[in-house]
Amino acid sequence: MKKLDIRYEDKDLIVVSKPAKMLTISDNSSRPSLYEAVSDYVKKQHKNNKIFIVHRLDKDTAGLIVFAKSMRVKTLLQKNWDQVSRKYYAVVEDQIKPQQKTLINYLKESKTFQVYVSKEGQKAITEYTVIKSNTKYSLIDINIKTGRKNQIRVQLSHYGYPVVGDKKYGSLSKTLNRLALVAYNLSFCHPITGELITLTTPVPKDFLALVEEEKK
């Protein structure tokens, strides 16, 4: 893979931007994972140091991921994970309405690993605000309040606005060669120092290109 895109690092943790189409952690296949790449980097930089998974992103979702350098730091981060602010950019099909909304659904996973809306599922809360749109696509800013599997993708698709490139949940668009979803912002208190850590990345250029003003 390309050189790691490290956005923050200290003796306790490391934050890396994961490219789309890469596993967070190995699924026992031959495909490379971000965990392996970060582990190799840390071992070279700090002999015999281990890293620990704190959270994950779907393989097709790009964005910021935190790894801990000790079990203690991992435990502290996960214990307070509900206080971590996690934001995403997405491009969805169609002109999404209203301009701002909080989506509340209950999600359940099938035996074939497909997540769907069900009264018997776990509560999922997703807030979105439209940044820019045209008649075909909408670029939205998303703030998740819960961390269910495929949460953003399933909820948006349920309301008729699948994420561009998301064949699994109904997207018909072939304008990008990847899923139009990126975890662009993380904000959390450092588990050891108490310092507020806020990391962010800009809107991808190919996302912006989709919502440019349509030519007449």
Given a cut of 50, whether residue 57 has pLDDT beyond it is yes
Annotation says 58 is catalytic: yes
Report pLDDT for 111.
87
CATH assignment, 84-188+203-216: 3.30.2350.10
Q: How confident is the model at residue 215 (pLDDT cuts 50, 70, 90)?
A: low
Instruction: Check for a shared fold between 1-79 and 84-188+203-216.
Output: yes
Strands 181-189 and 85-93: antiparallel
The pLDDT confidence band at residue 48, using thresholds 50, 70 and 90, is low
Q: Which helix (H) or strand (E) is 86 found in, with range?
A: strand 85-93
**The predicted structure's pLDDT at residue 113:** 87
Domain 1-79: CATH superfamily, name plus number: Pseudouridine synthase (3.30.2350.10)
Share of the chain above pLDDT 70, in %: 95
**Best CA proximity match to 209, nearest among 132, 129, 128:** 132
Q: Is the pLDDT of residue 214 over 80?
A: no
Stretch 59-74: mean pLDDT? 95
Output the average pLDDT for the chain. 92
Rounded to an integer, the average pLDDT of 83-111 is: 96
The Cα–Cα gap between 37 and 25 comes to 10
Exposure string over 48-66, b if 16+ CB within 10 A, otherwise e: eeebbbbbbbbbbbbbbbb
Task: Return the structure tokens found at 213.
Answer: 């003003």
How many angstroms separate the Cα of 178 from the Cα of each of 7, 39, 84? 22, 26, 27
- CA dist 73 and 81 (Å) reads 12
Q: How far apart are CA 163 and CA 152, in angstroms?
A: 9
Separation of alpha carbons 135 and 155, rounded Å: 21
**pLDDT surpasses 50 at 216:** no
Contact by Cβ (8 Å): 26, 33:
yes
Q: What is the pLDDT confidence band of residue 45, given thresholds at 50, 70 and 90?
A: confident
Which residue among the candidates 12, 40, 58, 166 is catalytic per the annotation? 58
pLDDT at 130 over 60: yes
